[in-house]
Amino acid sequence: MTQRAKIDTEGPEPGGGSGGGSSAGARSGAATQAGAAIDGAAIAGAAIDAGAELDPVHPVAPPAPLFRAGGLTATAVAERVARGAVNDVPVRSSRSTTDIVRGNVFTRFNAIIGVLWLIMLFVAPIQDSLFGFVIIANTGIGIVQELRAKKTLDGLAVIGEAKPTVRRDGRTAEISTSGIVLDDVIELGPGDKVVVDGVVGEADGLEIDESLLTGEADPVLKKPGDPVMSGSFVVAGGGAFTATKVGREAYAAQLAEEASRFTLVHSELRSGISTILKYVTWMMVPTSIGLIISQLVVKGNDLDDAIARTVGGIVPMIPEGLVLLTSVAFAIGVVRLGRKQCLVQELPAIEGLARVDVVCLDKTGTLTEGGMDVTELRTLGGADPGYVRKVLGALGESDPRPNASLQAVIDAYPDEEDWRCTESLPFSSARKYSGASFSEGDGDTSTWLLGAPDVLLPPGDPALDEVTALNEDGLRVLLLARSARELDDPHVAGGAKPTALIVLEQRLRPDAADTLRYFGEQDVHAKVISGDNAISVSAVAAKLGLPGAENTVDARSLPAERPEMAQELDKNTVFGRVTPQQKRDMVGALQSRGHTVAMTGDGVNDVLALKDADIGVSMGSGSEATRAVAQIVLLNNSFSTLPSVVAEGRRVIGNITRVATLFLVKTVYSVLLALLVVCWQVEYPFLPRHLTLLSTLTIGVPAFFLALAPNKERARPHFVRRVMRYAIPGGAIAAVATFVTYLLARHHYSGPGALDAETSAATLTLFLVSMWVLAIIARPYTWWRVALVAAMGGAFLVVLVVPWLQDFFQLRLVGTIMPWTAVAVAAAGAAAVEFTFRWVDRRFPA
């Protein structure tokens, strides 16, 4: 038997479905040819009524359509495309261009600033309208950066897009999800995601997990005529189904579309900034009203100047650049990761991974490469090695969708016997074994199992000693056992006779050791949780130098209660024989102890844990289901990319937290200055041009560079509290120091031009205090940080000494007493800022 089509030559007639014992080979043989002759267009009406709803918890199958084993003809496909019966759900990894432009242009603060800008264009020189041009530039930068991120995400999404296998004209082909039409016949195998609703036509031990839709953890065994729902995935076996609902009519279509959109929300960073902006708005309204009234009263008939100084007080209250900078930092992060073939399906995943303190790793496909090699065959109980090879060859031929272990067996022992497979049991992560029954050439019938020795054998069996010794060398071992029971017997493994041990060597990823070392250096605890034998997993972890690899636990001994399980997880590092449900429970137990958990994996047994983890990371070569639920997909299958993702997240979060302090110090001192002006009933000291200059030199330009600098500090929670504990005292000190200088200058200067001199002195004090805040935020110093701060100071000095810049910004220091007084007040303010920040660090540690 050299072709899989020979496994079952006595299957049902074409077009009538198939039983549980049929194989994919039989489906692709004569039945497919016969089914191809059926004109799909003639029986399109047999599809399920598109209006029929499936109850996600207890689905009831509507009348099943006629199953065409060969799929639709080209003519039938064209007819369905023409009438719009296609799977046209727009699955996007990013916002549309229209959404990006709208999101950056039509904001609350852009509206406020836009109105103020229009007013200033009419009542004041162009210098006082510079803030409007800055906002236009900022908005343009934000749009350009997000469009770059969109282009990167969309390109990577096409590379990583799952392509379901569809039968058409008697042949199979992989097509894009959007290319599926109504009544298409779609094949399923382990790890495949059900992309549209349908009805099963063929089933070969087909088990589908619907827990992501229904919450029910147990896989559902599907038979011909049973419904399948989009969003579920195959955990074992294979089969094919007819698409009965496509596009937006499919059960999970709306959820899938919403979940796949590019988003900048639902993260602590974004929600924290939104909270800050909400409070800023509340403060702005009464302060602005008071400022407007006071300036109109104080200035008397000079309405234009009163309006200009009022706008000068309102504009700096708005931390408009903070939102822009956050968007830009995220977008640039996406582009950087995209260059490393890392698809970020949800932007907050960058932030989330920066907060991770525990990463759970699946061994197979993550620490080891997918392929394996058979290194030895050990027969047991005097079994004939030649006969064992025949059995292994037939077992390999019986599974149309072999996993990595069985593929290694197939490569080592090709099938050369004309044995007929009468029944098969696909491999399942929950069972830990697969099996098949054969009618041998001489008429004998036998049932064989292939799987985990410690599952198939009772404790104390002599063969387990050999297995343990092999596992300790990091080798993987499968047991071939002959069962005396029927394959559909729930206790088929009971009393099975061990016949041979198949020794497999796993290929370690060359980059795994360095990646694990990086996590250790970054204080991220790695936990290896695998379905393989615990001793074998421990040996692999030890070879990779994972600290605590000797602390190995067989997950079958773990307590089911979450608190007790969490204690074991904290104490140990390596866990073997973990079931898919246990992986999910372990993630939940770690989260219950306050950990932020990332889960990596590539197999269908990892899907539930990936979904529940704070951050799910899938390999690009992983199953379709894992890629669908993961927030991050490593398209190059390189485990070494993960540190780059962590570093990018830490850079974004750490730096945004730093520069947010700069923006909010400005907001605080602007509000307090306005209140002090209202209380003292004096003219507002600044025109918009002054604060545009200060904002550019002490916040805008340096914040952009600081936001993109390297930062390896792990992100910490409570963003708002951590930022405001510096912003409030820093802004208050800057406001008081500036207002003191202003009052002293009002007392010192008199006559024509006094207001300009007073403003210049106050501007000098505010600039120097703000520069000291910048100097603190820029720590720890490097050559470029020192150069950045020095360049900002130099730029301000140029404005003070170049005559045309003096006139442009209306800044001119008069005399020597008041300028030096301004410097002295600023020095006292800077000292107060330094002392206060240090006290805050001690009194309110982050």
Residues with a known catalytic role: 362
- Give phi and psi for 145, each to the nearest 5: -65, -40
Before 780, cis peptide (omega within 30)? yes
Nearest to 444 by CA among 417, 425, 426: 417
Torsion angle of the four alpha carbons 348, 351, 352, 356, in this order, in degrees rounded to the nearest 10: 170
In whole angstroms, give the CA distance from residue 201 to residue 247: 21
Alpha-carbon torsion (365, 367, 372, 374), positive or negative: negative
In whole angstroms, give the CA distance from residue 624 to residue 232: 11
DSSP annotation of 197 reads E
* Paired tokens of 837: 């920040």
In whole angstroms, give the CA distance from residue 355 to residue 347: 14
162 CB-side CA count, 13 A? 22
Axis-axis angle for helices 754-777, 688-695 (nearest 10): 20
In whole angstroms, give the CA distance from residue 562 to residue 588: 8
Residues 6+ apart with CB under 8 A from 729: 833, 836, 837, 840
**Structural contact between residues 629 and 212, judged by C-beta atoms closer than 8 angstroms:** yes
CA distances from 332 to 98, 340, 648, 828 (A): 20, 13, 10, 39
439 strand-pairing partners: 420, 445
Residues 6+ apart with CB under 8 A from 1: 7, 394, 397, 415, 416, 417, 418, 419, 420
Q: Which amino acid is at 571?
A: K
Long-range contacts of 111-118 (CB under 8 A, 24+ apart): 112/314, 112/318, 113/315, 113/318, 113/320, 116/311, 116/314, 116/315
596 strand-pairing partners: none
The kind and range of the H/E element at 292 are helix 268-299
Q: Is 350 exposed, middle or buried (0-12, 13-18, 19+ CB in 10 A)?
A: buried
Using DSSP's 3-state secondary structure scheme, residue 332 falls into: helix
Q: Which amino acid is at 516?
A: L
Strand ordering across the sheet containing 445-451: 368-379, 497-508, 476-483, 445-451, 433-439, 420-425
CA distances from 91 to 195, 262, 695, 778 (A): 12, 10, 41, 42
CA distances from 36 to 42, 131, 256 (A): 13, 69, 32
Using DSSP's 3-state secondary structure scheme, residue 119 falls into: helix
Residues 6+ apart with CB under 8 A from 725: 840, 844
Buried/exposed code over 543-571 (b: 16+ C-beta within 10 A; e: otherwise): bbebebbeebbebeebeeebeebbebbee
Q: Is 179 left (phi over 0), alpha (psi -120 to 50) or beta?
A: alpha
Nearest to 690 by CA among 765, 740, 748: 765
Within 10 angstroms of residue 380's Cβ, the number of other Cβ atoms is 18
Residues 6+ apart with CB under 8 A from 679: none
**Structural contact between residues 480 and 392, judged by C-beta atoms closer than 8 angstroms:** yes
Q: What would you report as the CA-atom Rg of the chain, rounded to the nearest whole angstrom? A: 34
